[in-house]
Amino acid sequence: MRSNPVQIAHAVPTMASTAAVNGRHDLGNRVIVVHPTPGHGGEGIARDVLQALGKQFRDRTPRDPLRLQMLAGIWLRAELTRELVIAGADGRPTSDWRILRNLCDESDHGGLRHPRGG
């Protein structure tokens, strides 16, 4: 396990907490803040991670969910991501957590942590 595992954190959705979470996004310091697309979760979380990493998509271009997951894992590893913050993490469905766990495993981060009071 790396000394700096990826963190999955939650912020209560208020104006102040949203600003605080957004303020943590710093690619230069390897901190990525993801704002998941509202909905039922699933494969879209990988696309959300890629967008947080600055990757752009054409809206009408269909994407293979497994390829998106693979690309998200590659980019997390390439960016040497130290911290991954998922806004509203505790409200995300189990399918998102599974994908995030797989992304962290693929990117060699060793696992997920959910810090209390994040």
- Residue 10 located in a structural domain: no
The average pLDDT across 70-78 equals 90
Whether pLDDT at 117 is above 50? no
Whether pLDDT at 11 is above 70? no
Record the pTM.
0.75
The mean pLDDT value of the chain amounts to 76
Q: How many domains are contained in the chain?
A: 1
Amino acid in the structure at residue 113: R
Q: Distance between CA atoms of 51 and 32, rounded to whole angstroms? A: 10
- Residue 118 located in a structural domain: no
Look up the domain containing 50 and give its range: 15-106
Helix H or strand E segment including 51 = helix 44-52
- Residue 69 located in a structural domain: yes
